[in-house]
Amino acid sequence: MTAHIVIDGNNLLYAMHAHAPGPHMGRETLVRVLERWAQTHDHKVTVAFDGAIPRGAMAEQMASKRMVIRFSGSETADDVIIRLVREAKTPTSIRVVTTDSVIRHEAKYRRCECTRSEDFVAEVLRPAKVPSPTPAPTEPEKPAPPSTGEAERWLDTFGVPRDPEPFDGFDAMNCDPPD
């Protein structure tokens, strides 16, 4: 079954700053990183951030065709996440990503799977497992000799005369057989 991953965006962003290599990222970069992760997984993903919905160019940068990005407006992102968990028809299909103890308590009470943000950072930044290509069958170094039937067909195709008797080891031109 496809899981619904509900991510505490600010909490995950803080964990990224603390545990991810490289320069610090902002919300828009986090959305792109999560989007790439979501493309390799068959999950519905919702990211909740604190604050007002951005406008203009920032709204375009935060938009995602693959995920739902929610802003809390006058409430907190924690409130948004808790409401999503409480209103879920099948809370056992939800995986909540946060380190916030209040959200984790509510999610566990509803039997949601919980993942700490620090652990999710490692999962998101882990290189995708790409199936290794199946190696081509190796050819033997020396091909098997042709069958008698194959040899006969090739001799006929190229008009090669056949000896009436097999070669017995000496030259028929007045040479003595070997001792």
The DSSP element (H or E) to which 154 belongs, if any, is helix 148-157
Domain membership of residue 165 (yes or no) is no
Domain membership of residue 39 (yes or no) is yes
Domain membership of residue 73 (yes or no) is yes
**Residue 50 · residue 72 · CB < 8 Å:** yes
What are the distances in angstroms from CA 111 to CA 56, 81, 106, 116, 169? 39, 14, 9, 15, 88
CATH of the domain at 19: 3.40.50.1010
Mean pLDDT in residue range 103-127:
92
SS3 54: coil
The predicted structure's pLDDT at residue 169: 57
The predicted structure's pLDDT at residue 1: 44
Count the domains in the chain.
Answer: 1
Q: What share of the chain in percent tops pLDDT 90?
A: 45
pTM attached to this predicted model: 0.68
| Amino acid sitting at position 58 | M
Domain membership of residue 109 (yes or no) is yes
Domain membership of residue 48 (yes or no) is yes
Which residue segment(s) compose the domain that 75 sits in? 4-125
